[in-house]
Amino acid sequence: MQIDAIVLRELHIPLVRPFETSFGVTRNRRIVLAEVHSEGLTGWGECTAGERPTFSSESTDTAWQVLINELAPMLAAESPEHGGECPKIFRSVRGNPMARATLENAIWDLEAQREGVSLSRLLGGVRDTIPCGVSLGIQSSIAELLSIIERELATGYQRIKLKCKPGWDVEVFERVRNRWPSIMLSCDANSAYRLRDEDHIVSFDAFDLLMIEQPLWHDDFYFHSVLQKRLETPICLDESIHNRRDALAAIEMESCKIINIKLGRVGGFSEAIAVHNAAMERGIPVWCGGMLESGVGRSHNIALSTLEGFSLPGDVSASARYFADDIIEPHVTVSAQGEIAIPDSPGRGYEVRTDLIERLTVRKETIRAMALVA
């Protein structure tokens, strides 16, 4: 596919409510979107980097720099037929997986449109609907959290994930479990604990959690494996897993029993599929994580979640939980059974609202292949 132009833009979009994790609070999203124009079609990608380098070392600003100065010019100089060629095109740049995924995912979207198949089908997806859960940030009180859980369960969500940290954990789990003894419940510490907290984390076993996500260091396998040996509850790794080799190491060392796959964190669809395959071959369930994505990234997450190994409800939920007005049409909605129905039209299956995107854009750059001089 001849690449005619790559348009990169930054959008500012407020969240409908603040999202608080152990590493900070997000109120407004600064999202980088990529539009790849090729032979009359447009593929879209979203960068999942946060506003600050707190979840990972990437941020909106680092990704912007790497996309504009490195990755977009590399891609514009090539004519990839398949999204899976992107890792090779970008191989001279180290790290920066979220920046890479922005462009790679746009090429997969383009390819699906060119082939006239849904992105889910192109990826090898096998589901017509995906099971959905919600990730609930740290709240100002437990009473407030309980009322939010009540609302999310009434909407139909199948699994509740609680963000936790020292001081917002056992008491919270106890109150939630007393009220709802049998819901699917998990927690995510985003690396808030240390080895000195080992006994404390082992006490989480009393709450029948589906998993404890990333309790220790963001870059660790070994100490998670030490902790997993003492825990009944499965550990799920998020931050630690960047590629297939990480997944293999974590599974081999028994650092986790479940893996959260995020497109941005692993650098795009090809590595996400590789992590999924490695986990599935070894009987390790996976699920799709979220990064407060707009509709573009959300539609990619939905397509990824249709792969066979995504057997647990993910953090892929309705647009309205995050944004008053999403940049895709229709918005992502969740059924009373807590499922998202997979669109079967070509590509991502949601229209992009270019007028709204234009209004939300605060900076924009267009990169074209350099004209060849004979």
Active-site residue set: 163, 262
User: Residue 56 or residue 120: which is nearer to ligand OSB going by CB?
Assistant: 56
Long-range contacts (CB closer than 8 Å, 24 or more residues apart) made by 139-143: 139/20, 142/171, 142/172, 142/175
Please choose, out of 78-86, 147-155, 289-297, 352-360, the segment that lies near ligand OSB by the rule CB under 6 A: 289-297
**What is the tally of helices (H) and strands (E) in the chain?**
14, 15
Distance CA 88, CA 277 (A): 20
284 in Cβ contact with 33 (< 8 Å): no
Q: Does 135 bind ligand OSB (CB under 6 A)?
A: yes
The contacts of residue 286 (CB under 8 Å, 6+ apart) are 258, 259, 260, 261, 275, 276, 279, 280, 309, 310, 311, 312
Q: Which does 292 bind (CB under 5 to 8 A by kind): ligand OSB, Mg ion, none?
A: ligand OSB
Distance CA 168, CA 130 (A): 30
* Host H or E run for residue 16: strand 5-21
Q: Identify residues 192-251 at the interface with Mg ion (CB under 5 A).
A: 213, 238
In whole angstroms, the minimum distance from the beta carbon of 215 to ligand OSB comes to 12
Looking at 238, 246, 326, 339, which residue binds ligand OSB (CB under 6 A)?
Answer: 238
User: Residue 23 or residue 223: which is nearer to ligand OSB going by CB?
Assistant: 23
User: Residue 98 or residue 367: which is nearer to ligand OSB going by CB?
Assistant: 98
Q: Does 290 bind ligand OSB (CB under 6 A)?
A: yes
Q: Does 256 bind ligand OSB (CB under 6 A)?
A: no
Q: Does 111 bind ligand OSB (CB under 6 A)?
A: no
Q: Which does 290 bind (CB under 5 to 8 A by kind): Mg ion, ligand OSB, none?
A: ligand OSB
User: Residue 38 or residue 305: which is nearer to ligand OSB going by CB?
Assistant: 305
* x/- letters, 180..219, toward ligand OSB (CB under 6 A): --------x-x-----------------------------
The angle formed by the CA atoms of residues 72, 73 and 77, to the nearest 5 degrees, is 115
173 in Cβ contact with 204 (< 8 Å): yes
* Cα distances (Å, whole numbers) of residue 181 to 121, 130, 173, 212: 38, 24, 10, 17
* x/- letters, 42..61, toward ligand OSB (CB under 6 A): -------------x------
Residue written as tokens 């106890």? 174
The contacts of residue 172 (CB under 8 Å, 6+ apart) are 142, 145, 162, 164
User: Residue 289 or residue 349: which is nearer to ligand OSB going by CB?
Assistant: 289
In whole angstroms, the minimum distance from the beta carbon of 98 to ligand OSB comes to 11
Q: Does 292 bind ligand OSB (CB under 6 A)?
A: yes
Q: Which does 152 bind (CB under 5 to 8 A by kind): ligand OSB, Mg ion, none?
A: none
The angle formed by the CA atoms of residues 213, 314 and 231, to the nearest 5 degrees, is 25
Looking at 131, 215, 289, 349, which residue binds ligand OSB (CB under 6 A)?
Answer: 289
User: Residue 131 or residue 289: which is nearer to ligand OSB going by CB?
Assistant: 289
188 in Cβ contact with 161 (< 8 Å): yes
In whole angstroms, the minimum distance from the beta carbon of 4 to Mg ion comes to 37
Q: Does 291 bind ligand OSB (CB under 6 A)?
A: yes
Q: What share of the chain is helix, strand, coil (3-state, %, to 5)?
A: 35, 25, 40
Residue 325, amino acid: D
Looking at 188, 246, 271, 326, which residue binds Mg ion (CB under 5 A)?
Answer: 188
- Using CB under 6 A as the criterion, which residues of the chain lie in contact with ligand OSB when the complex forms? 55, 135, 188, 190, 238, 289-292, 315, 317
Site for Mg ion, rule CB under 5 A: 188, 213, 238
